[in-house]
Amino acid sequence: MQYCTACQKAIASIVIMDLNGGAVTGSQHLCGPCAEQLGVGQPKAPTKFSAEILEDLLGGLKSSRPATSRPRAEACPGCGMTPTEFRTKGRLGCPRCYDVFRHELMPLLARIHESQSHRGRLPGRTSTAPVVTDEKNLADLRRRLEEAVRGERYEEAARLRDDLRRAERGEGARP
């Protein structure tokens, strides 16, 4: 049994070998999600298609940013940052980048902090009660949005996108 070399959390289910003239020169063990992230999993054409539309929808707020020529499927669906951008800037564009660029972020964190996970305060554990962001509601909205996109119900999707944005800010849905 071997842990995924990218996220170092899940059990690896895929082994990628570097071949050089028939000889194995290196190998990488990956879990399913990470393999997919790195573009080495099984291609799923329909999902990819709707993911692009979803991204366009989510991108409604970032219209003023110039479009990049990078293949969009690799970019963070939350902010459009590409792996190349992340590598050159060393900056994250939104909370979702932490998941999207996980396999590159982990070694970076280890190098900077000699640690890969947080110890200390979190909003849920402060002395006073924080704003309640309903994680379950958020997940539900994200799922419905994805469904609407897949079902090509774009008007509904746009409305759900706005609801999601507001919910993420803890503002609640507007009438």
Partner 1 sequence: MSKSNRGDGGRGDKMPEFRPGTWLQGNGPESDIAICTRARLARNLQGFHFSPCLPDDEARELYDFIVQRLKQSGMPEQLHLLDLDNIDDLERTVLVERHLISRELAGSTRARGVATDTEEAVAIMINEEDHLRVQVFASGLQTEAVWRRAERLDDALIQRLPMAWSEEFGFLTSCPTNTGTGLRLSVMLHLPGLVWSDEIEKATNTAQKIHLAVRGLYGEGSRALGDFYQVSNQVTLGRDETQIQSDVFLAVGRIVQWEREVRQALLRGTARSRTLDRIYRALGTLERAQILSSEEALGCLSALRFGIEEDLLPGFTIPNVNRALLLSQPGHLQRFTRERLQPDERDQRRAHLLREVLGCSR
Contacts to partner 1 by CB under 8 A: 61-65, 78-81, 89-95, 97-98, 105, 108-109, 112-123, 126-131, 133, 165-166, 168-170
Q: How far apart are CA 73 and CA 152, in angstroms?
A: 19
Nearest to 13 by CA among 28, 25, 30, 33: 30
Within 65-84, the residues that bind Zn ion by CB under 5 A are 76, 78-79, 81
**Dihedrals phi, psi of 15, to nearest 5 degrees:** -115, 125
Whether 104 and 89 have beta carbons less than 8 Å apart is answered as no
Site residue total, Zn ion (CB under 5 A): 14
Closer to partner 1 by CB, 29 or 161: give it.
161
Q: Which range binds Zn ion by CB under 5 A, 41-49, 86-94, 116-124, 137-145?
A: 86-94
Closer to partner 1 by CB, 20 or 115: give it.
115
Binding partner at 34 among Zn ion, partner 1, none, C-beta below 5 to 8 Å by kind: Zn ion
Closer to partner 1 by CB, 42 or 64: give it.
64
Closer to partner 1 by CB, 121 or 136: give it.
121
Binding partner at 31 among partner 1, Zn ion, none, C-beta below 5 to 8 Å by kind: Zn ion
Binding partner at 117 among Zn ion, partner 1, none, C-beta below 5 to 8 Å by kind: partner 1
Within 118-147, the residues that bind Zn ion by CB under 5 A are none
- Could you please report the per-residue DSSP string of the chain? --B-TTTSSSBP-EEEEEEETTEEEEEEEE-HHHHHHTT-S---HHHHHHHHHHHHHHGGGGTTSPPPSS-GGGS-TTT---HHHHHHH----STTHHHHTHHHHHHHHHHHHS-SS--S--GGGSSS------HHHHHHHHHHHHHHHHTT-HHHHHHHHHHHHHHHTT-----
Binding partner at 105 among Zn ion, partner 1, none, C-beta below 5 to 8 Å by kind: partner 1
Residues near Zn ion, by CB under 5 A: 4, 6-7, 10, 31, 34, 76, 78-79, 81, 93-94, 96-97
